[in-house]
Structure 1
Amino acid sequence: MQRVEATIFAASEPVGRETLARIVGKSCSIDLLIDDIREELRGRPYDLVAVAGGFRHLTRPAYADAIRRAFGTAVGESERAVDLTQSDVLVLMCIAYFQPITRAELSSFFGKEISRDLIGHLRGAGLIASGPRSPTTGAPYTYVTTKQFLLEFGLDTLRDLPDIEALEDAGLLSKEKLLAGDIMPDFAGSEEYDGVQVDE
């Protein structure tokens, strides 16, 4: 158990099950070891979490304010790959839910052309990558999310994304509006949307 915890603690990225199995042997249950470590960490200011297909030590959200006061930033904020605009987040959300997806398909969702610059910004941040070529005419590139996307948003797998129906029930997303291209009328500009300045 201590070898597993020490390995995860020392690693700069999430440690996968294959690596942990090399440490303790394939006959040992990784899940039981992780559960035991989490039990020992109960009440501590950090926990062992599953993220991006591996395990990582992270401080608990309750201590973010204390860390921010001490260092001027919470853990993870200084490592943020890029500052995302509302437009970036909306496009990234569509890629995450509908991948693999082409730029033309993204443009049809929003009723406005999605610029190559916006796609380049997300690619440069390591949040998206090229997926398989689309079987449509011209075989355009598709886009998919990356491991960095999972790390950035604290997800273990894409199955951890909020359920679309739950987002609709909470009033945060309307699938009908999204598919009708009605999610954000002034998406391509830098005009105000519901009182929020949208920066491109």
Structure 2
Amino acid sequence: MPPELRWREWMLRVEAVIFAAAEPVTRETLSRVVGKACSIDLLIDDLREELTGRPYEIVAVAGGWQHRSRPAYADAIRASAAPTRGGVSALSEFESMVLMAVGYFQPITRAELSKIFGKEVSRDTIGALRSATLIASGPRSPTPGAPYTYVTTKHFLSAFGMETLRDLPDIEALEDAGLLSRAVMQEEAMVAVVEGEEE
């Protein structure tokens, strides 16, 4: 097969695998499809260029690549009410805040989360985040009793479009920009807990 046709075939194989996968596809997986001698990065670059102008793209998330709808089409997708794959299931405001705390302070115990929010973080809240596969058990804490810690998952990275945890916004930068206040966050968490108890 001539080199240009072989390259085109490899591009199509890589796109097919990424398109069909429910989770981000790793470099190792793509190497099995096209061979270790092939430059995965160059193939991905060519695919991205080819998809310019399409309503979807290939993005690097959670240590691999995934097809994603372009952000410009988010309103149209929401308006359609069509079921979508991936993403984040509906979380309560408090669950979202607990997830954010786990993301920034992992590995973290439930007791440490409770200290952050000034109120006990229930097993149900942890269970909901685990069921959504956004968090998982981490290493045991070195504190007395060796409680479980919690960490985010690859699904967390994928759902929020991050390649690694380094892509999380810097807390200090968010505070400096006036987008986040730890005091306000704790206050809102308390309100969310109280409202949750009233329901």
Q: What is the TM-score when the length of structure 1 is the normalising length? A: 0.83
8 Å Cα contact 1:14-1:56 kept in structure 2: yes
Q: CA RMSD in A?
A: 2.5
1:161 aligns with 2:153: no
Query: For residues 21 and 78 of structure 2, what CA distance do their matches in structure 1 show?
Result: 23
Q: Once the two structures are superposed, what CA deviation does each residue of 1:7-63 show, in whole Å capped at 9, x if it has no partner?
A: 212223221100111122222221121111111111111101112221111121212
Spell out the pairing of 1:130-145 with structure 2 (5 A cutoff): 130-145=137-152
My pick for the range that moved more, 143-152 or 133-142, is: 143-152
8 Å Cα contact 1:167-1:173 kept in structure 2: yes
Query: For residues 64 and 178 of structure 1, what CA distance do their matches in structure 2 show?
Result: 29
Q: Which amino acid aligns with 2:193?
A: A
Match of 1:5 among 7, 15, 18: 15
Matched residue, 2:108: 101
Cα–Cα, structure 1 residues 74 and 62, in superposed 2: closer, same or farther, change >3 Å? farther
Matched residue, 1:186: 191
Counterpart secondary structure, 1:148: helix
Cα–Cα, structure 1 residues 47 and 132, in superposed 2: closer, same or farther, change >3 Å? same
Query: For residues 65 and 188 of structure 1, what CA distance do their matches in structure 2 show?
Result: 31
Question: What percentage of residue pairs aligned between the two structures are identical?
Answer: 65
Q: Once the two structures are superposed, what CA deviation does each residue of 1:108-163 show, in whole Å capped at 9, x if it has no partner?
A: 11111111111111112211111111001111110111122122222222121112
Matched residue, 2:81: 72
8 Å Cα contact 1:51-1:154 kept in structure 2: yes
Deviation at 1:190, TM superposition (A): 0.3
Structure holding more helix per residue: 2
Cα–Cα, structure 1 residues 199 and 53, in superposed 2: closer, same or farther, change >3 Å? farther
Cα–Cα, structure 1 residues 185 and 7, in superposed 2: closer, same or farther, change >3 Å? closer
Counterpart secondary structure, 2:22: coil
8 Å Cα contact 2:55-2:73 kept in structure 1: yes
Query: For residues 96 and 78 of structure 2, what CA distance do their matches in structure 1 show?
Result: 24
Match of 2:92 among 85, 88, 106: 85
Matched residue, 2:73: 63
Aligned residue-pair number: 189
Query: For residues 128 and 22 of structure 2, what CA distance do their matches in structure 1 show?
Result: 25
Spell out the pairing of 1:8-27 with structure 2 (5 A cutoff): 8-27=18-37
Q: Once the two structures are superposed, what CA deviation does each residue of 1:80-116 show, in whole Å capped at 9, x if it has no partner?
A: 5531111001110000111000011111111111111
Matched residue, 2:3: none
Query: For residues 168 and 73 of structure 1, what CA distance do their matches in structure 2 show?
Result: 36
Cα–Cα, structure 1 residues 24 and 80, in superposed 2: closer, same or farther, change >3 Å? closer
Cα–Cα, structure 1 residues 12 and 121, in superposed 2: closer, same or farther, change >3 Å? closer
Q: What is the TM-score when the length of structure 2 is the normalising length? A: 0.84
Deviation at 1:66, TM superposition (A): 2.9
